[in-house]
Amino acid sequence: MEHSVEQALEVVPLCLGQILVRKTGRSFVLCHRDDEACDDLEMFGKAGDAIEIARYDDAGNYRPLKTAPNLQHGWRMTLRTSDDLKQALDHFYPGRLEVLVAWHHGQLRTTPLRETLDRQSGMYRVAAKISDAQIDDLVADFCRSNGGCLRTILWKRDRPGAIASTKLPTQKFDPAWDQVQALGRTGSATLATVPLLCQEACNLLVAACRKVVKTE
């Protein structure tokens, strides 16, 4: 069981979301999982380059949700130190390594969606009026791994512990499941897959809840 980000990354080669991390000599080499066999990739060498790569999808559209399954292709990044690797992965998937470590320690607090909605203020306060049935439909569409988000959902709908959506497959709630498989990509039997965990609803889902209520 991992105790730190460093130990979580010791299992290289590994997959984190749509990223493949390998080691060549003492360097870490990152690329899109689909590009493993490509040799005409644009080369990068700084952890900060991940910010730009993660900003847009293949079509040049801005990616508001960094864990959406639309990471752009066509790049390879070589990094010299584990600190650089941590930084780059944090740019690609902000906060996910720290959340993973907290989860491994049993210290990750998850927040029910109703609690997240109830603490909203201003124009988002109305989002709390969304019905349970509407949440069931919305989360199934908004958070689905094939087109929505690659995180594994750990939060519940409400304090009594209702599931976030009955319309998502059980694998969506299983940290051992490689969510990228939902894209029709075969998971790797040989590589470790590090989950992207979702401990509470993101701002985008809150905004989508508001939209459902306002549309009604």
What residues make contact with ligand SF4 under the rule CB under 6 A? 67, 142-143, 148-149, 151, 153, 198, 201-202, 204-205
Q: How far is 101 from 20, CA to CA, in rounded Å?
A: 19
Looking at the Cβ atoms of 79 and 113, the one nearer to ligand SF4 is 113
The distance of closest approach from Cβ of residue 121 to ligand SF4 in the complex, given in angstroms and rounded to an integer, is 19
Looking at the Cβ atoms of 67 and 193, the one nearer to ligand SF4 is 67
H/E stretch holding 23: strand 19-24
Q: How far is 195 from 89, CA to CA, in rounded Å?
A: 13
Tokens matching residue 215: 């549309």
The distance of closest approach from Cβ of residue 4 to ligand SF4 in the complex, given in angstroms and rounded to an integer, is 24
Tokens matching residue 165: 């959506």
Which residue has the CB atom at the shortest distance from ligand SF4?
Answer: 149
Tokens matching residue 191: 């590589």
Q: From its phi and psi, is residue 74 left (phi > 0), alpha (psi between -120 and 50) or beta?
A: left
Neighbours of 199 (CB within 10 A): 17
Tokens matching residue 149: 């988000």
Tokens matching residue 73: 């292709």
Looking at the Cβ atoms of 49 and 193, the one nearer to ligand SF4 is 193
Looking at the Cβ atoms of 76 and 96, the one nearer to ligand SF4 is 96
Looking at the Cβ atoms of 3 and 119, the one nearer to ligand SF4 is 119
The distance of closest approach from Cβ of residue 184 to ligand SF4 in the complex, given in angstroms and rounded to an integer, is 19
The distance of closest approach from Cβ of residue 43 to ligand SF4 in the complex, given in angstroms and rounded to an integer, is 30
The distance of closest approach from Cβ of residue 6 to ligand SF4 in the complex, given in angstroms and rounded to an integer, is 25
